[in-house]
Amino acid sequence: MTEQSVIFFDIDGTLLNHDKKLPQTAKEAVFQLKDAGHVVAIATGRAPFMFEDLRKELDIDTYVSYNGQFVVLNGEVLDTNPLKIPSLVELSETALENNHPVVFMDHEDMKANVPEHSYIKESIATLKIDRFPEHDPYYYKERELYQTLLFCTEGEEKQYEQEFHDFDFVRWHPVSVDVLPKGGSKAQGIQKIIAQLGFPAERQYAFGDGLNDIEMLTAVKNSIAMGNAEETVKKAAKFVTKSVEEDGIYHGLQMVGLL
């Protein structure tokens, strides 16, 4: 019998293709891994409510969401790392002055600090999810928030990076940036799960394609970048598989000997 391993999959551009569809070969690969006794987990920048259907389809109840800020093991919350609210309020006020809206996000929902904005519509639409942030400028009150979206064009986030040292800023769309707790990453969330499961480094695997996957691909010993990833992401990984459109998950798992 093959030794049990744990495999973490990013979602967008990794499990899901450009049209946000799950290739049949990727689905089959996940269930082959599970049938072989491996632990299959998700590591994503998405909120938990943004990939509930995918978790159900793949029967996955262990995941790192919000780029490591909300971690669940076997359906139970294992670790959280919320944003610092006073700094977030300051950021929101500065962003409003610059006509840069923000969307506050907890594990259940997301709310915008403006009634509507073209940048919000443009970027959220690419996720192809069945909800859109409603207006609630005070959603940060009396709750923990794990990520915020800042909407600005490329380069405009530099101002916020220089001013707000409690946060990291990771671009995921031409007009949107993830705002995370300083030092937070998928890699940190993964380590919380690994600490509980006890897998040695040689039996840890991770697949990703985005800039927010670099820390994960660097930290996990057997890391695989998708063929559709940017060059900087590929350089962070140990292996490079085919693109998501070319059955990259299945091919990558075969390449590392898990299938």
CA distance 39 to 30: 10
Strand partners, 7: 40, 205
Q: Of residues 10, 168, 178, 213, which has the active-site annotation?
A: 10
- Establish whether 209 is a catalytic residue: no
Which residues are known catalytic residues? Answer: 10
